[in-house]
Structure 1
C-alpha cells in the first residue's frame, strides 16, 4: 500500500511542532503537490480570527464539527479553529 503522506519530511516536522495528524498530512501533501514555497501563499484573504465575532467563530466551528463550541470563549474558539 502506498504511503498517503507525500512529503514525509514536512509531515514529521509539522508533527514535532504540535500539528495534528490530519493538519500535518494536509499541509505535507499540499507541499508535495504545489511545492513548499507555494503552500500558504494562496491564503490570507480572510481577516484573522481575532477580528471575527463570537457568532461567526461558532458558525465556523460548527462547520468543522468542533466539540464544546457552544460554551467556548472567543479565545478558546480561536485556538480550537487554529488547531484544525
Structure 2
C-alpha cells in the first residue's frame, strides 16, 4: 500500500472535495463510499432540502440550538441564533 492511501476509501476524489467544502471526515467518507457503491446520482437523490434558516421560526431555531448543544441562546434574536451556528 502506498503512503497516504486508505484501502477502504472507495472514491478519494469525492472525499477530498467534500473535505475541502468543510464536511467532516467521517461524513465525507460515508458519502463518498456510498457514491462509489451506488452511483453518485443515487446518493444525490437521497434526502431532502431543508428550508433556509431565515425561513425558520424563532422557536424552531431555539430547538435546533438545543439539539446541537449551543448555550446562551435563550435570549438571542433570530439573526443572532442563525449567526451562532455559522460562528460557534
User: Normalization by structure 2: what TM-score?
Assistant: 0.56
For residues 4-43 of structure 1, the C-alpha deviation after alignment (integer angstroms, 9 at most, x for no partner) is x432221111112332223322321331232111223233
CA RMSD of aligned residues (A): 3.1
Q: 2:73 aligns with which of 60, 65, 70?
A: 70
| Structure 1: runs of 5 or more not aligned | none
Aligned length: 78
> Quick one: higher RCO (CA 8 Å, sep 6+), 1 or 2?
1
User: Who wins on radius of gyration, i.e. which is larger?
Assistant: 2
Change (3 A) 1:58 1:16: same
1:13 paired with 2:17, answer: yes
Alpha-carbon contact 2:15-2:29 (below 8 Å) kept: yes
Alpha-carbon contact 2:61-2:82 (below 8 Å) kept: no
Give the corresponding residue for 1:58. 62
